[in-house]
Every structure is written in structure tokens, then in C-alpha cells.
Chain A
């Protein structure tokens, strides 16, 4: 009777445990939020979009979004594997992959392989491919980017920064791009502080912004002025930055007080005293108890 009940209990436990584990790890798999598998004809058509980014530090990336329409609403696809190709869908052209997050977005950074393939090219053709999974059909989208550059120059006389937008042709031929919106700003920790409204480039491809002199910089007063074009149909999002010495130097206050957030040497005295007292108090008792072990041994010898 006891064994029987024991076996049943074990069985129930095993089933429960493995169902729980199934839940746990099943959710991390390829088909994170995928509905059940369906026939090819019934599969949900997937929409995709691509955006190109080149940051001021030179890092390039492609942000891929994947979603489907449910009535008028866009439903973003989570956990979809996206493969990114350059030039055409082929093994040689596969320059990276990523997985979409809860917002249906995957950011694929463009590293070594892309830099080798794209070297010297001014027309950049990217293709993103999503394999079909669950009830989603496969999806594909492409984007063509023309290589452009923003050159920044500093005018010390009127504390302004001039940005010129060029499209790159041939090896190093730069042609100014007029009538394009450029945002000027100053890099802060988490975002860009805009220097006025976005400006449109003139026939020489240039815009200029005066930098106010009362913005806190680093300890030497250096600010980083940024010029940026965003989501341009031909150039994507590109930015460029230049350091200027027009900021207010920020004094770094070194804390020499005895505080919780100071260095170890400047720990508050009460904290040090309390810690030392507690540690020595407890370890004192423990040493006394270890001494008792020797006493036990001594008693044994005496008795024998």
C-alpha cells in the first residue's frame, strides 16, 4: 500500500516537474510567441522594414522590424530569426543574424565580414530574410543605401559649427547634398541636446549652428557637437561629431568625507567600529570553542 502510493506520488511529481520544465524551457525556443503550425496557404503574411545606422564612432548597424497586420493593428513578431545579406541572398553575402525582441525589432551590427565585402562600395544593398516559423510565412525586405558623409568644421570666431553633407561617388569624390534636413546637437549621457530646430542644407550642402557657451562640458570644458540626418530615404541615419572647447568645465568633486559611498579607507568610523566589534566578538567565541576541543582531548588523556 505504502509502495503503491509512493510510486503514484513519484509519478505525479515527475509529470508535474517535467511539464513545468517544458513550460520553462519551451518558452525560450525558436518559436517564442508563435501560434500553432499551419498549412503553407494559411500562413500569416509577414511585413518587414529595414533601417540603416552609422554612428559617429563609425559603427554601422541595420535595425530590422517584423510584424503582421491584425485588422488595423500591427502585431510585432517576437523571437524571429533574421538573416542579413549584403548584395544578394547567398552564403557569401550573409553578414549577420539576429533575433527580434518583444517590439519585433532586431539590431544587427555590421562587423568584419561586411566591412570586407562593402569596402570601396558606395551603393549598399541589404536584404533581410526571416524564415517562416509557426504560422508565420517567410519574409524578405531590402534597403538600398547610398554612401554619404557629414563633415564638420569649427569656427572659433563666432563659436559655431558648420556641417556639410556630401554624397560619396567613385573612390573619394564628394558631392554636396542640398535641401536635406540636418539635426545639430550636443552629445549628453543618454541623448542629444538639440541646438535649435533641424536645418535644411543649402546648395553647398551646409548648415551651421552657434554653440551656446554655458553648457557644462567635461572637466576640460569639452563638448561633442553632433550633426545627424535621420531616416533619410537614400542615406539612412548617419551622424558625425566633433569636439569643441566651449563648454563650462565641470569640477570633479572628490569625496574625502567618511561616507558609505566613499573609498574603503574613508569608511564611516561607526561602521568600521561596529563591524570590527561584531567580527572580533563572534570569532572570539569561536576561538574559545575551538579551545574547548583541545580541552576535551586533554581530559581524555587525563582520564586514560
Chain B
């Protein structure tokens, strides 16, 4: 490597990185955040216990809308999980250097999101005790079985992609964190696999990360394409589209990029010294990336609504009218304006690609993305192609109940808690990758003696 830093200077930089980037105890703000999340989770767990006892009758689901916010939340989680493949894999394979401080943020978001995508599906089941029936009686022809296979595979890849590059970080924690409880020391010792940072070990990491980066791209595309096929392979207005796979994937990349921006901002703003590594330049580049991804998503969105809107077949017309001018019009237009139009226009200007406005825009995109999934799932369910007879009028509307909202919110809070716990115990910025980006050879990071 040209201009490589060695010896005393390299050790000084590594020491400095260790001091600044090793996990720290939470302050008052961090503790309040954890308590808040725990309250939301406890509330959700209470209602989930009620749901286990009484069944799905405590939700707003019925004969018409049998997929409610649990499923739209599932699609949201799957979409958010795709960010791992975007930042870690695609940018890695394209040899984009500035991605180094963002990889772990994106991977931990991906792992948390995919974990809760799997769990929220179980929550949506009226009889979760029969989950093994999926494997015993599942049909390989059904996209539902493909979804289970691909989610499990993607979760494993994401965990490995998080874990491999984390090994040196865990070893840094093992060797440098003092004044920590015994269990924490033991955890670092077990998880670090006795890491010594030898050339061979780094070679294994680099080879494994390259393999995973190649592997995760088709699996990531599959996971969201298969999720879209859960909808597109059923004959319903709004879902009966050949475009759905690409539409879902593009939306997921956009949401994922926004989630990373939100995460970046938190560390940039609240973690002392992190703004040296996550710089305004990163926000600027992520802003440009977000515009690009938003434009691609806008293209697919126009396709999705313009073509059936132009033909206006009767049942499609009822569905589209409910979105454009009917019951769901305020939500539909709010999502398009706040979640796509404003972000695209604003991010074209450099002044909006600064950390604070980027954070606000990212939150807008994330919130709008959640409601977008609601709009994909629920209005279509209210307009079935085949008429249903003798259905009480109250079943022809859908409004999530308080228990349903509580359980959904708790899943979101739990995903955030997983990220929070990770940040508390592991370095969120990859110390060795940043060191390497600075020109330090991996040999300099070898642990010398015990």
C-alpha cells in the first residue's frame, strides 16, 4: 500500500481510535431512551399476551382486511433490512472508500430489522403454536415458504457480515476496556474467538467479507422480491403487477439509505469525537445517494399507478379512487409529498445535504415509508376482485385497534433496542477499517502478547 503508516505513528493512531471509538456507558439521555423503549416494549408484550389468550379478535383484522398493520410492518422491516446489502456489499464491491464508517451502522440496522421481520410474522399468526406446520406442510410452490427460507438465509448472512468485521473490534474491547463487569469481559473473550490480529486472520476476514458481499446481493434482492410476490402472485387490484419486485426493492433501498442517515446523525450529534469519522462529507454523499434512490423509486411508483390509472378497469378504479381522491387520499398524498417529492427536491441543494436537514428528511422518508407499506397492503384488501357475500359493514373498513398498534409499536421499539444494546457494548464504527482507510497496515493491529 502506498503512503502506509507504520510503527510508532500507526500505534498512536490506533490508540487514539480506541479511546474515541470503543463503546461507552450511556449518559442520562441514553438511559432515558432505553427506559422509554422498554416501556413501549412492555406495553406491546402485555397486549401480545392478551392476543395469545383471546386470539386475533382483539385486532381490527377481519374477513376483508386479514392482513393489517402487522403485515405492512413486516414489509417495512424487510425493506429496512436491505440497507445492509446496499452499504456493506454494493459499496464495498464498488470499492467506495467513504463507506467505512457507515458499514456497521447499516449492518446492525439490517440485523435488527430482519430479526423483527421474522418475529412480526409470528405475531400476525392466530395460532403461533402451529408455526412448525409451515415446515411440515409447506408447499415449495408457495411464495410464503420461499419467504421463510430467504428470511432465514438473509438473517444468517447479515449476522455473519456483522460479525466477521466486528472480530477485531471485540478484541479491541477485550484488551482495552477496563472497569467493566466480569460477564462483559467474558462476553468479549468468548465472542472475540481469541483474536490476535495476525495476517492470516485478517486474510480470512477479508476473504469472508468479500464472499458474503457477493452472496448477500442476490439474497437481498430475493428477500424483497419474494416479499413482493406474496402480494403480486395474488389476484387483487393494486397488487396484480409484474413490476412489484423492482418496485419493492427500489423502495427498500430508499428506506434503508434514510435509516442509515438517521443513524449517522445520532452518532454524529451525540457521540463525542465521532464527527471526526462521520463527517459532513458523508452526509453530502449519502444525500446524493438518497436522491438517486428516491428518483428510481419515484419512477417505479409512477409506473405502478399511472398504467392501471390510465386503463381504469372498474375494480382497479375503485381502488385507485380510494387512494387518489377517496378515503386514503390524505395519507396517500402526504406519503408522496413528504416521503418522496420534498426529499428529492430538497436534497438536490447542497444546503439540505448537511447533517441536521438530512436527519429531518431521513425521518420524513422513514415515517412515510411505514405509511407507504400501509397503503400497499390495506386499501387493496378492501377491494377484492371476488365479491364477498353477507359481510357485515364493519368488516368492510379497517382501523387498527389499540392493542394492535401497541404490539406494532413495540416491535419497532424492540428493533431500536437491539441497535441500542449493540451500540452500548460494541464499537459502532469499525476501528480497523478506519485505521486501514487512514493507511495503517493490518500487521500494525496485531495483538502483541497477552
* Bind each other: yes
Chain A interface residues toward B at CB < 8 A? 2, 5-6, 9-10, 12-13, 16-17, 19-20, 23-24, 26-28, 32, 55, 59, 98-102, 105-107, 109, 190, 260-264, 267-268, 271-272, 275, 279, 282-283, 285-286, 289-290, 292-293, 295-297, 299-301, 303-304
Can you pick out 15 interface pairs between chain A and chain B where the beta carbons lie within 8 Å of each other?
A16-B364, A20-B371, A26-B330, A27-B328, A102-B326, A107-B392, A271-B140, A282-B153, A295-B204, A296-B167, A299-B200, A299-B201, A300-B194, A300-B195, A303-B196
* Cβ–Cβ < 8 Å partners of A102 in chain B: 326
Contact with A along B189-216 (1 / 0, CB 8 A): 0000111101011001101100110010
B2 at the interface (CB under 8 A from A): no
B 330-376 contacts with A by CB, 8 A: 330-331, 334-335, 338, 354-357, 359-360, 363-364, 367, 371
Let me know if B394 and A28 touch, CB within 8 A: no
Do A304 and B195 form a contact, CB below 8 Å, given A98-B393, A267-B140, A282-B219? Answer: no
Q: Which A residues lie within 8 Å of B196 (CB)?
A: 299-300, 303-304
**Does the CB pair B393–A101 fall under 8 Å?**
yes
Measured between alpha carbons, how far is A106 from B283 in the docked complex, in Å? 53
Could you say which of B212, B393, B450 contacts A289, with CB atoms under 8 Å apart?
Answer: B212
Q: Let me know if B204 and A99 touch, CB within 8 A.
A: no
Please determine whether A289 and B160 come into contact, CB atoms closer than 8 angstroms.
yes
| Contact of B387 with A by CB under 8 A | yes
The docked-state distance in angstroms from the alpha carbon of A5 to that of B358 is 12
Kindly name the residue among A9, A267, A301 whose own CB sees the greatest number of chain B CB atoms within 10 A.
A9
Q: A282-B215, A296-B195 are in contact. Are A263 and B140 (CB under 8 A)?
A: no
Contacts of A263 in B (CB 8 A): 139
Number of interface residues of B (CB under 8 A): 57
Looking at chain B's contact residues, the main secondary structure is helix
Most chain A CB within a 10 A radius of its CB, from B146, B164, B389, B393: B393
Q: Tell me, yes or no, whether B183 is within 8 Å of chain A by CB.
A: no
Residue B141 contacts which of A12, A59, A98, A267 (CB distance < 8 angstroms)? A267
| Given A20-B338, A24-B330: A289 and B211 interface contact (C-beta under 8 Å) | yes
Determine if B273 is an interface residue (Cβ-Cβ < 8 Å). Answer: no
Query: By the criterion CB–CB under 8 Å, are A304 and B450 in contact?
Result: yes
Interface centre among A2, A107, A262, A300 (most CB of B within 10 A): A300
The answer to whether the Cβ of B390 comes within 8 Å of any Cβ in the partner chain is yes
The answer to whether the Cβ of B157 comes within 8 Å of any Cβ in the partner chain is yes
Task: Give the interface SS of chain A, mostly helix, strand, loop or mixed.
Answer: helix
Assuming A16-B338, A289-B211, A300-B196, is B397 touching A99 (CB within 8 A)? yes
The answer, yes or no, to whether B399 is at the interface (CB within 8 Å) is yes
Contact B330 A264 (CB under 8 A): no
Q: A107-B392, A293-B193, A304-B196 are in contact. Are A9 and B359 (CB under 8 A)?
A: yes
Closest A residue, CB atoms, query B218? A282
Contact A106 B219, beta carbon cutoff 8 Å:
no
Most chain-A CB neighbours within 10 Å: which of B141, B330, B355? B141
B139 near A289: Cβ-Cβ < 8 Å? no
Q: Is B36 an interface residue (CB 8 A)?
A: no
Provide the bound-state CA to CA distance between A289 and B216, in Å: 13
Cβ contacts under 8 Å, A105 to chain B:
393
What are the 6 tightest A-B residue pairs by CB atom distance, in nearest-first order?
A23-B330, A300-B194, A20-B334, A6-B356, A264-B139, A9-B360
A295-B204, A300-B194, A303-B196 given; A99·B394 CB < 8 A: yes
**Contacting residues of chain B (301-338) with chain A, CB-CB under 8 angstroms:** 326-328, 330-331, 334-335, 338
Chain B, Cβ-Cβ closest to A57: B390
Besides A17-B363, A264-B141, A292-B208, 6 more A-B contacts (Cβ < 8 Å) are A13-B360, A100-B393, A267-B139, A275-B146, A285-B211, A296-B167
Residue of B nearest to A290 (CB): B160
Residue in B138, B194, B371, B394 whose CB lies within 8 Å of A301: B194
Smallest CB separation, B125 vs chain A (Å): 19
Q: Which of A19, A24, A268, A279 has the most CB of B within 10 A?
A: A24
A32 to B399, CA, bound (A): 13
B372 to chain A, nearest CB (A): 12
Please, how many angstroms separate the alpha-carbon atoms of A189 and B363 in the complex?
A: 49
Whether the Cβ atoms of B198 and A299 lie closer than 8 Å is yes
Contact among B153, B163, B393 for A107, CB-based, below 8 A: B393
B219/A296 in contact, CB under 8 A: no
Give Cα A267 to B355, complex, Å. 52
Question: B39-78: which residues lie under 8 A (CB-CB) from chain A?
Answer: none
Interfacial chain A residues near B396, Cβ < 8 Å: 101
For A287, the closest partner residue in chain B by CB is B156
B334 touches A279 (CB 8 A): no
Given A267-B140, A300-B201, A301-B194, check contact A28 B393 (CB 8 Å). Answer: no
